[in-house]
Structure 1
Amino acid sequence: MTRKLTIPLFCLAVLAFPILVAGVAQAHGYTAKPPSRSYLCAQGVVTDCGEIQYEPQSVEGPKGFPGSGPDDGTICAGGNGRFAELDDPRGGAWPATSLTSGAGYDFVWHFTARHATTSFRYFITRDGYDPTQPLTRADLEPTPFLSVPWNGIRPTGDVTNHGTIPSGKSGRHLILGVWDIADTGNAFYSCADVLL
């Protein structure tokens, strides 16, 4: 009787293992400082977030931004329709982190899975950005204000990138963090609303 029960349980475990491993392998990372929209959803600070509240680390899309990558209006979700709530500007009411224009700041990526990394890049919106509209390339300064090359190295833990908030900025802005992966065709996108 015990043998009859053991074999089906073993088979069930063998079948379930790849599914469990695949679920873990799909986990990746997001900016925790300043807190990204996906992080705020996962923490329950923002509600009605859909699936992203359960997997804030999964905002993965094609790399090559800004020349390629997610379409305009879908950048905060990495072009992934499952996470479209991140592209909803919510009337410009996303919680914003207060930062100081021209001051130094430690940008932190939190990882649930670590990938060989090409770089971390940070873009900020132009003056006159309208926070009530979905993010487009035209809303962003054309070049990142901070680029940190990693040359294919795999992070061993969370990563802090020290940079300077662009001077002369004021009011509500958005910082787009892009984590470029070295060994896949993808990058991770992380939008953080800030007040300067």
Structure 2
Amino acid sequence: MKTTLNALSDQELIHLYQGGDESGLKELIDRYKSKIYTFIYTKVRDEFLAEDIFQETFIKVINTIKTGGYNEEGKFLPWVLRIAYNMIIDHFRKEKRLPNVVSSDGFDIFEVLRFAEDDAEKKMVRSQISADLQKIIQLLPDDQKEVLIMRHFCDMSFKEIADITNVSINTALGRMRYALSNLRRLIEEHNISFQLY
């Protein structure tokens, strides 16, 4: 049975679960739990909190699927990551604070760059750049934003992105090229300087 489940697409596993077979959901969780947990952990930097948010995310996923609210054909992982991200934001809003790595309106593109010895001024500049850049990312078309987020924030290969979004690798690469090109254009239009020194 395990081999058969491995061969099924995300959508087929969801249909299986909707039909009352719990193994469909179990396979989906097994398939993506590592990526989803890692994604959450990189945002909150706390093992226990990451586990709590992971569980809350899947409770929401289960409820949404059970009530027929899931319609993201072929895009299960990006959909779950969006839910996880919203759960992270909700948590920090309740705590009345946002961590340095998360802003209320987007993803921190500088999260992958660690500058341990920055002085206060550089940190302030980087924080402003990060906030500006996050606003710009929100202006990208959804398909380009999705590829950018999956590539840079979820550390996915273009093959994984292509599989998840149901497009060819060339299309995924093309969307990434357009996303970066549009980012450059928008950065120039909004006169954002990325010079730190």
TM-score by length of structure 2 reads 0.29
Higher helix share: 2
Higher strand share: 1
Give the structure, 1 or 2, with the largest relative contact order (CA under 8 Å, sep 6 or more): 1
TM-score by length of structure 1 reads 0.29
